[in-house]
Chains A and B, each alone.
Chain A
Amino acid sequence: MQPSDPYQAVRAELAALRHQVTGVRGCVVAGVDGLLILHDTVAGPEPHDIAALAAGAHGISRTCGAALQQGGFQEVTIRNQGGYLAVYAVGDLALLAVIGDSGLNIARLHLEARPVTARLAGLLRIQTVESSGYFG
Chain B
Amino acid sequence: MANIETSLKEAMTIEGAIGVALVDYTSGLTLGVMGGGLNMDMNIAAAGNTDVIRAKVRTLEMLGLADSIEDVLITLDSQYHLIRLLQGRGNEAFFLYLALNKNRANLGLARHQLRKIEAELDV
Contacts and interface: CB of A to CB of B under 8 A. Distances in A.
Interface of A: 22, 103-108, 110-111
Contacts, number: 31
Interface stretch (B25-33, B75-83, B113-121): B25-33
Interface stretch (B4-12, B47-55, B66-74, B102-110): B47-55
A108 B51 contact: yes
Given A106-B27, A106-B28, A111 B51 contact: no
15 contacts: A22-B54, A103-B26, A103-B54, A104-B27, A105-B27, A105-B28, A106-B27, A107-B27, A107-B29, A107-B43, A108-B28, A108-B50, A108-B51, A111-B43, A111-B44
Interface of B: 26-30, 43-44, 46-48, 50-51, 54
B27, B29, B43: residue with the most chain A Cβ atoms closer than 10 Å: B27
A107 B51 contact: no
Q: Could you tell me the dominant secondary structure of chain A's interface residues?
A: helix
Nearest to B28: A107
A108 B28 CA distance: 7
Q: Could you tell me the dominant secondary structure of chain B's interface residues?
A: helix
B19 to A, nearest CB: 16
Given A107-B43, A107-B46, A111-B44, A22 B51 contact: yes
A105 B44 contact: no
B25 to A, nearest CB: 8
Contacts of B54: 22, 103, 105
Contacts of B26: 103
Contacts of A104: 27
Contact of B48 (A22, A103, A108): A108
Contacts of A22: 51, 54
